[in-house]
């Protein structure tokens, strides 16, 4: 379990005890269920990272809700969008080895994370990563419930494939953008797992 759960567990425990002593057992039961949910939500399962250097792995657990190609500065890019429900593990992991060139926090709205509008308009953390095969952009996007985006690295840090780099509290969206010079290994509606699922492989010429 992630240590971030501790304040929620303490609050839930205090309230459960309070309602028990004033004999409002339903209230006590509600907060006991809340405590169970917190244990479940903040779970942090161990992952064996076996990805190769030329592979891009999923930065999040969830379902792929979008794969689209777009053009920027005369170059084609791919965007993969992953929706995390409140039942998914919410730890974000590094999708590949590289150097964090910049981190930009952008305030915004709180559309439901499965809504395409969330991509450009929701509050989000944008991380620019430099890799020998090509540069990528990782986005941690808040959802309708999420109000706290955590990122445990900073500009100038070197990250290794699969290491834990952040978390978004409650349902959210994670996106990857990179040059369209990879062979995709996933499709829309696929279920993916952070640190394990291979999203794509850099083409050999890169």
DSSP string, the chain: --GGGHHHHHHHHHHHHHHHHTT-HHHHHHHHHHHHHHHHHT----------TTEEE-SSSEEEEEEEEEEETTEEEEEEEEEE-TTS--EEE-SSSEEEEEEEEE--B---TTSTTHHHHB-EEEEEEE-SS--EEEEEEE-SS---EEE---TT-EE-TT-EEEEESSSEEEEEEEES-EEE---TT-EE-TTTSEEEEE-TT-
Q: What is the CATH number of the domain that holds 177?
A: 2.70.70
Same-domain check for residues 90 and 18: no
Angle formed at CA 151 by CA 162 and CA 105, multiple of 5 degrees: 130
Same-domain check for residues 182 and 134: yes
- Could you tell me if residue 197 is inside a domain? yes
Whether the predicted pLDDT of 13 surpasses 70: yes
Same-domain check for residues 90 and 171: yes
- Could you tell me if residue 120 is inside a domain? yes
User: How many domains does the chain divide into?
Assistant: 2
- Could you tell me if residue 122 is inside a domain? yes
Same-domain check for residues 66 and 16: no
User: Percentage of residues in the chain with pLDDT exceeding 90?
Assistant: 48
Same-domain check for residues 89 and 32: no
- Could you tell me if residue 94 is inside a domain? yes
Residue 154's domain spans which residues? Answer: 55-202
Question: Do residues 180 and 201 touch, judged by C-beta distance below 8 A?
Answer: no
Whether the predicted pLDDT of 111 surpasses 50: yes
Per-residue confidence (pLDDT) for residue 145, from 0 to 100: 64
Question: Do residues 185 and 199 touch, judged by C-beta distance below 8 A?
Answer: yes
Per-residue confidence (pLDDT) for residue 92, from 0 to 100: 95
Same-domain check for residues 66 and 113: yes
Whether the predicted pLDDT of 56 surpasses 80: yes
CA gap 79, 184 in Å, rounded: 11
Same-domain check for residues 166 and 117: yes
Whether the predicted pLDDT of 197 surpasses 90: yes
Higher pLDDT, 204 or 65: 65
User: Percentage of residues in the chain with pLDDT exceeding 70?
Assistant: 90
pLDDT, average across residues 23-44: 85
Same-domain check for residues 127 and 83: yes
- Could you tell me if residue 48 is inside a domain? no
Per-residue confidence (pLDDT) for residue 20, from 0 to 100: 84
pLDDT, average across residues 43-54: 90
Per-residue confidence (pLDDT) for residue 206, from 0 to 100: 47
* pLDDT digits 0-9 by tens, 118-162: 677 788 899 999 999 889 999 998 877 656 788 999 999 999 999
Same-domain check for residues 22 and 102: no
- Could you tell me if residue 113 is inside a domain? yes
- Could you tell me if residue 49 is inside a domain? no
Whether the predicted pLDDT of 81 surpasses 80: yes
Question: 159: exposed, middle or buried (C-beta count within 10 Å: 0-12, 13-18, 19+)?
Answer: buried
Same-domain check for residues 123 and 181: yes
Residue 5 pLDDT level (bands cut at 50, 70, 90): confident
Same-domain check for residues 115 and 192: yes
Per-residue confidence (pLDDT) for residue 58, from 0 to 100: 97
Which residues, in sequence order, are CB contacts of 131 under 8 Å at separation 6+?
96, 97, 98, 99
pLDDT, average across residues 163-192: 90
Q: Which two tokens stand for residue 30?
A: 């509600």
Per-residue confidence (pLDDT) for residue 73, from 0 to 100: 80
Average pLDDT of the chain, as a whole number: 87
Any idea which residues carry the catalytic annotation? 172
- Could you tell me if residue 185 is inside a domain? yes
Same-domain check for residues 86 and 111: yes
């Amino acid at each position: 379990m992630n240590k971030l759960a501790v304040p929620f567990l303490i609050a839930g425990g205090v309230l459960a005890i309070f309602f028990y002593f004033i004999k409002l057992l339903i209230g006590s039961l509600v907060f006991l269920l809340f405590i169970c949910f917190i244990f479940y939500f903040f779970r942090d399962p161990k992952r064996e990272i076996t990805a190769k250097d030329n592979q891009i792995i999923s930065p999040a657990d969830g379902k792929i809700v979008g794969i689209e190609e777009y053009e920027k500065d005369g170059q084609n890019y791919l965007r993969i969008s992953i929706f995390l429900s409140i039942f998914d593990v919410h730890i974000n992991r590094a999708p590949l080895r590289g150097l964090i060139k910049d981190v930009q926090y952008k305030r915004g709205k709180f559309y439901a994370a499965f809504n395409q509008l969330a991509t450009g308009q929701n509050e989000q953390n944008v991380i620019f990563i430099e890799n020998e095969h090509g540069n990528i952009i990782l986005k941690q996007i808040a959802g309708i419930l999420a109000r706290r985006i955590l990122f445990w690295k900073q500009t100038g840090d070197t990250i290794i494939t699969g290491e834990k780099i952040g978390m978004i509290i409650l349902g959210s969206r994670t996106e990857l953008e990179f040059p369209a010079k990879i062979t995709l290994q996933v499709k829309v509606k696929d279920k993916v797992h952070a640190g394990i699922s291979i999203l794509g492989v850099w083409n050999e010429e890169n």
